[in-house]
């Protein structure tokens, strides 16, 4: 089954005709994702990459039956694009855009709250179910199909983890890049929960970073639901000084609880296999699977 996206997902691209949107739409199509069209207000009725362009998401959904959207709209208009997709009945929205004002995201998050929609991101690499659908900007060849789920705040660190998993002779069910912004649609716990409930996922890699309490909340969930599947965890930013923002808008140590050390401690106490070094993710997963007697 995998989660969020699969071979049946019909994907539209918001910001389709822009340079980022065009480039990555092309990459997604090459990967085999069922991209059914795109939205660029004012360019409706035209064709781009041999696919129809629509003025509104609503029209795109009506005409194509799209259920997934990926957003490459510039930061000033991205929150609006999220709300438009939710209003049009899209079920999974993946927002790649980096640099959306926090105030806009507060509004967007509130707007989509009671609608039947899952938002991934913003400021994320997207979601990939290897061999079925890539709805994101990740290099597809790194991700080989298998039974390990990945949840990560970071882009390239997700690729790093996937690469190690694959080189360890394993594969990936679905990798979810949840995003590095202060406000994101699907926090760590919700993403981990999806993979815990996925019959095609045997174990999970959970990668976090400094700032916020998402990893702590996820750890509590994992412990309280009885550690159903092995989880290997890593927190980036053990050497980050307090009060300084490390690239991602959300990556800042504000208090004692959101340091890497504090998060790793909570994760360990919750039965997660925490690695100190990001180079050990693959080995730790092999070991965790052996301990649990899983042949993934």
Partner 1 sequence: MNIHEYQAKDILKSYGVRIQEGIVADTPEEAVAAAKRLTEETGTSWHVIKAQIHAGGRGKGGGVKLAKNLKQVKEIADQILGMTLVTHQTGPEGKLVGKVLVAQDVYYPGDSEPKEFYLSILLDRAKGQNVIMASTEGGMDIEEVAEKSPEKIIKEWIDPAVGLEPFQARKIAFAFGLEGEAFKEMVKFVTNLYKAYLDTDSSMFEINPVLKTSDNKILAVDAKVDLDDNALFRHKDLAALRDISEEDPLEVEASKSNLNYVKLDGNVGCMVNGAGLAMATMDIIKLSGGEPANFLDVGGGANAQTVEAGFRLILQDPNVKAILINIFGGIVRCDRVANGVVEAYKNIGDIRVPIIVRLQGTNAEEGARIIDESGLKVFSAISLKEAADKVKQVLA
CB of 129 to partner 1, least distance (A): 17
Range list of H helices, the chain: 19-31, 57-64, 75-87, 102-112, 155-167, 188-196, 214-224, 260-269, 281-292
CB of 181 to partner 1, least distance (A): 9
**Cα torsion for 34, 35, 36, 38, to the nearest 10°?**
170
Rank residues 202 and 258 by Cβ distance to partner 1 and give the closer one.
258
Rank residues 36 and 71 by Cβ distance to partner 1 and give the closer one.
71
Q: Tell me which residue of 184, 182, 111 sits closest to 151, measured CA to CA.
A: 184
Q: Which residues bind partner 1 (CB under 8 A)?
A: 27, 75-76, 99-107, 109-110, 137-139, 141-142, 152-160, 163-164, 167, 180, 182-183, 187, 207, 209-210, 212-214, 217, 234, 236-241, 243-251, 255, 260, 276-280
Q: Per the residue annotation, which of 48, 110, 248, 273 is the catalytic one?
A: 248
- Give CA separation, 286 vs 198, 202, 208, 290, in Å: 20, 12, 20, 6
CB of 106 to partner 1, least distance (A): 5
DSSP 212: S
Residue 248 annotated in active site: yes
Rank residues 132 and 209 by Cβ distance to partner 1 and give the closer one.
209
Helix (H, G, I), strand (E, B) or coil at 252: coil
Q: Is the dihedral of CA 43, 44, 47, 52 positive or negative?
A: positive
CB of 107 to partner 1, least distance (A): 6
Phi, psi torsion values for 150, nearest 5 degrees:
-125, 135
Phi, psi torsion values for 253, nearest 5 degrees:
-80, 110
- Which residues are known to be catalytic? 248
């Amino acid at each position: 089954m995998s989660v969020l996206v699969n071979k049946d997902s019909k994907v539209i691209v918001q910001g389709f005709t822009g340079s980022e949107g065009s480039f990555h739409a092309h990459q997604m199509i090459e990967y085999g994702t069922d991209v059914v069209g795109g939205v660029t207000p004012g360019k409706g009725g035209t064709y781009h990459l041999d696919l129809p362009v629509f003025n509104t998401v609503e029209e795109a959904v009506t005409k194509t039956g799209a259920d997934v959207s990926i957003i490459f709209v510039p930061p000033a208009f991205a929150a609006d694009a999220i709300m438009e997709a939710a209003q049009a009945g899209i079920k999974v929205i993946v927002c790649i855009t980096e640099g959306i004002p926090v105030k806009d995201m507060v509004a967007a998050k509130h707007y989509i709250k009671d609608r039947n929609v899952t938002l991934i991101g913003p400021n994320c690499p997207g979601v990939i179910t290897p061999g079925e659908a890539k709805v994101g900007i990740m290099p597809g060849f790194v991700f080989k199909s298998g039974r390990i789920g990945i949840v990560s705040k970071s882009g390239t660190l997700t690729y790093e983890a996937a690469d190690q998993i694959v080189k360890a002779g394993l594969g990936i069910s679905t990798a979810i890049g949840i995003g590095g912004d202060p406000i994101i649609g699907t926090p760590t716990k919700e993403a981990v929960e999806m993979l815990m409930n996925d019959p095609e996922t045997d174990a999970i890699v959970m990668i976090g970073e400094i700032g916020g309490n998402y990893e702590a909340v996820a750890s509590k969930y994992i412990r309280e639901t009885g550690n159903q599947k092995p989880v290997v965890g890593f927190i980036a930013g053990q050497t980050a000084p307090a009060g300084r923002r490390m690239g991602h808008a959300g990556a800042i140590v504000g208090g004692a609880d959101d340091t890497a050390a504090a998060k790793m401690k909570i994760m360990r106490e919750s039965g997660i296999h925490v690695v100190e070094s990001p180079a050990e993710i693959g080995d730790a997963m092999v070991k965790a699977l052996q301990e649990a007697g899983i042949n993934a």
